[in-house]
Amino acid sequence: MDSEIEYILSLKAVREKAHKVLELAEQGKLTHFNYDRDKLDVAADYVIGIIQRDFGPDRYHLIPPHGRWQHFEVGGIPRIDKLLSDWKNDQKFDDVEKVRGLIDLFFVSVLLDAGAGDVWRFQEPGGEQSYSRSEGIAIASLHMFLSGDFASDKSLRKDIVEGAALHTLDADKLYRHFQISETNPLVAVDKRVELLRRLGSSLLSFPEIFGKNGRPGNLVDYLLSKAKSSGEIDYRDLWNLLQKVLIPVWPSDRTHIDGHPVGDAWPLKALATSSRANSSKTSAIQPFHKLTQWLAYSLMVPFDRLLKITWLNADQGTGLAEYRNGGLFVDIGVLSLKEESRARGLQLSSSNIDGLPYFGASDDEIVEWRAMTVALLDKLHAIISSSSQFNGIQLTLPQVLEAGSWKAGRELAAEKRPLTKSSPIGILGDGTLF
């Protein structure tokens, strides 16, 4: 593979490129946003307050990394613990098999969760509570997983995911399990079904890793084979594997370089303008790989909790370029749309009732916003790391995402837009990006 393409697929590129955009912001050279550095301290104070509220004064060591596990515990119900308990009663389930099972579940659950919209809700069977957004999709995907709709032969085993089943997934199954209707719409559901079908095909194309039936959980064996004797796995091995299997899965209309798809990576005018004197095939491309990064963060946790694996180079992962983290910086005023860009967004929002500016998911405004979000999350993490508020505990970036920035973005949205709880900038997405 071309070295430039390898670079744009790397975590290093996500961070380096985003910080180039931040440098342009500090020079007042962004295309669409104004940057107020002083408000970053305000954002940090707000996030620190939320972390103290929820984990202070002496529970900071209990903050989990950002990932899918927590969403299954919504409503105070330990659904994953229940699943592990059920598996414990089956002699076929040693700890490695339990991790394989959780990887199966987390894999499809994360890829199904790229924004649910402001309306959709899931009523959990046997309960009175309904759930929306990420938590709702998590619970719906869990029940679909347990029903056997991701299994090749549910008479042999239901609670398993196999590429052979994903490859031919019936859209009606997703509509039924996710309780989708005209009055309970899920954004871009057909795109999500197609994504899972392509995932099935990709898993089946790597039998040496995922087996003849394309089971995601078999990546456990692949990574354990690379583990050091001390029980350490290089995060880059997980990252490279996920990029290998997921790049062919994303919609075909995304960015290509010399005919090679590069996933969640997009042209950005600000980078193009700044790099004209030293241009290359990738100089104007800003990568994010957001869903892949969130999946990687999520998959690390079962290895850690059940197998006591230590991850090397995990700090190469970046903040996640999505609307909750980005919304935090807009709602507090660290970022604000320039008037011309805002006016364009309001024109695009004419069919929406919330009065917010809207843009397409790959529009330059959104790419610039996401790039700034990645870099600002590093800055936010640095401020929080230097804080004396956490009893000497150094929070990792994934912990800050979980207990701080993502939660802060959601709470600000609920406070400022109580009817929809939406992002301060609307994104016209296809259900496969965020």
Residue 398 lies in a domain: yes
Q: Give the model confidence (pLDDT) of 357-410 as tens digits.
A: 999 999 999 999 999 999 999 999 999 999 888 988 999 999 999 999 999 999
233-239 mean pLDDT:
97
* Digit-coded pLDDT (tens) for 48-102: 999 999 999 999 999 999 999 999 999 999 999 999 999 988 878 999 999 999 9
The answer to whether residue 433 is domain-embedded is no
Residue 263 belongs to a domain: yes
pTM of the model: 0.95
Mean pLDDT confidence for 139-144: 97
Confidence of residue 1 (pLDDT cuts 50, 70, 90): low
pLDDT digits (tens, 9 = 90+) for 239-254: 999 999 999 999 998 9
The 8-class DSSP code of residue 65 comes to P
Q: Say if 434 falls within a structural domain.
A: no
- Domain carrying residue 75: 3-428
Q: 353: which 2 tokens?
A: 């009732």
pLDDT of residue 270: 97
Whether the CB-CB separation of 106 and 71 falls below 8 Å is answered with: no
Cα angle: 20, vertex 295, 315; to 5 degrees: 50
Beta bridge partners of 122: 131
Q: Which helix (H) or strand (E) holds 426?
A: strand 426-428
Q: Residue 138 falls within a domain, yes or no?
A: yes
Residue 255 within any structural domain of the chain: yes
Average per-residue pLDDT for the chain: 94
Number of domains observed in the structure of the chain: 1
Q: Examine residue 369 and state whether it is found in any structural domain, yes or no.
A: yes
